Amino acid sequence: MLQSFASKLGPRALAKTGLALTLLSGTAARAFTEEHVIVLIDRSATMLTTRVSGLTRFEEAVSLAANYVRLPNALPRKYAVWTFEGTGYIQEQGFDDEDATRLTLSRLTVGRGATPLAHAVCDAADELLRFEPGVDARKVVYLISDGEENSSPTTSLCYGPRSTTRYPQLEEDSWQWKVRNMLKTGDPLRDSQTDYQLVLDANVFYNYLTLAPQKSTPPLPPFLALLQGLSRESGGVYTVVDDSRPVPYPGDTNQNGCVDMTDFYFVVGYYGMSVPPAPPQADINQDGRVDITDYNIVLNNLGSGCGPVGKLDKE
């Protein structure tokens, strides 16, 4: 497969690829020994919205989560699965392996309530920090949602009014400020300039005409700006899923719906680097480094979502 693909590249491209691949031996060892992930899926009523695929947002969210769980990873991962709606959340599965997690995902059902997003994110972060505290693990909240906080109970760690100011200048005691603090310090009331203790990967379903501004030009709506900022600040990945477009394929680093040579060269350009300084988008399986696993994910998905013209023969 690699030889077939290589034959499609010119000498300069091959030289660049070869140079990047040699960097693997120089990759600095990561301190983490494993990863702990809570897959946190919105099951509120708006997730019943039908997308261009004919499937609901919730059905596509389950598919997106399953694709994430299937990604190969350099570190062993333990997954928990939570869903949220109304004024609370359901712990669908405690920390377990890939097979158990995929089975749990296949059994999920959508609800009919509102969106207690702040409550769910903060409690998921708290659970991650409590789980196996003696293990040097990368802690990740993998969020899939389509709406802004609107129903967290007053007893929630991160209950609060909406910030009257936009990210990153969040109003003290707002729910946005508390969520950021929780991801950064583990305490919703303690702000700090230190690095984040947890990573937020935010996947947001939205309607192009209602939630996103025309042509997605700045400024983003406050909710999207918040999730984008928290993801990038914490070293996570921010993914938008427009209802009029397919769910992104693994390897689509620029989220244009097509895994192509732009994505390939983007990953090659950061090959052998840790994240940061490499951008999270280049780390396809989000294990903290850009390596042969990420390279192979892009390579194996080249042409996906691109239509007949963009597809390559990988046999």
206 domain residue, yes or no: yes
Distance in angstroms (rounded) separating the CA atoms of residues 83 and 62: 11
First to last CA, the chain: 5
Residues linked to residue 50 through DSSP beta bridges, in sequence order: 56
Alpha helices for the chain (secondary structure H): 2-6, 11-21, 57-70, 98-106, 117-130, 175-185, 222-233, 261-269, 292-301, 307-310
315 domain residue, yes or no: no
Q: Which tokens hold the place of 127?
A: 């659970």
Are residues 237 and 287 both part of a single domain? no
Q: What angle do CA 11, 292, 134 make, to 5 degrees?
A: 155
C-beta neighbour count of 7 within 10 angstroms? 9
Q: Which domain CATH number covers 141?
A: 3.40.50.410
**Residue at a domain's end among 196, 225, 242:** 242
Model pLDDT for residues 69-112, shown as the tens digit of each residue: 988 877 899 999 999 999 999 999 999 999 999 999 999 999 99
Are residues 22 and 109 both part of a single domain? no
Are residues 163 and 271 both part of a single domain? no
**Residue at a domain's end among 242, 268, 302:** 242
pTM comes to 0.80
Are residues 266 and 229 both part of a single domain? no
DSSP assignment of 226-246, as one string? HHHHHHHHTT--EEEEETTSP
Distance in angstroms (rounded) separating the CA atoms of residues 87 and 246: 30
Question: Rounded to a whole number, what is the largest CA-CA distance in the chain?
Answer: 62
Are residues 25 and 71 both part of a single domain? no
Are residues 25 and 145 both part of a single domain? no
22 domain residue, yes or no: yes
User: Which DSSP state fits 68?
Assistant: H
- Cα separations in angstroms, 8 against 2, 5, 14, 294, 314: 10, 5, 10, 20, 10
For residue 144, give the H/E element and its range: strand 137-145
Alpha helices for 25-174 (secondary structure H): 57-70, 98-106, 117-130
Domain count across the chain:
2
pLDDT along the chain (315 residues), means of 10: 42 39 36 94 96 93 92 88 97 98 97 96 98 95 95 97 96 98 97 92 78 57 93 89 83 83 91 87 84 85 67 38
53 in Cβ contact with 11 (< 8 Å): no
- Look at residues 204, 186, 161 and name the one whose alpha carbon lies nearest to residue 41: 204
Q: Which tokens hold the place of 217?
A: 């030009």
Are residues 75 and 177 both part of a single domain? yes
DSSP assignment of 278-305, as one string? S-GGG-TT-SSB--HHHHHHHHHHTTTT
Distance in angstroms (rounded) separating the CA atoms of residues 272 and 294: 10
C-beta neighbour count of 193 within 10 angstroms? 5
Are residues 295 and 148 both part of a single domain? no
Distance in angstroms (rounded) separating the CA atoms of residues 54 and 5: 34
Are residues 72 and 147 both part of a single domain? yes
* Predicted pLDDT at 123: 98
In percent, how much of the chain has pLDDT > 90? Answer: 57
**Residue at a domain's end among 187, 222, 242:** 242
Question: In terms of residue numbers, what domain contains 65?
Answer: 34-242
Are residues 179 and 85 both part of a single domain? yes
Are residues 25 and 41 both part of a single domain? no
Model pLDDT for residues 144-174, shown as the tens digit of each residue: 999 899 999 999 999 999 999 999 999 999 9
Q: Which domain CATH number covers 7?
A: 1.10.1330.10
Are residues 198 and 261 both part of a single domain? no
156 domain residue, yes or no: yes
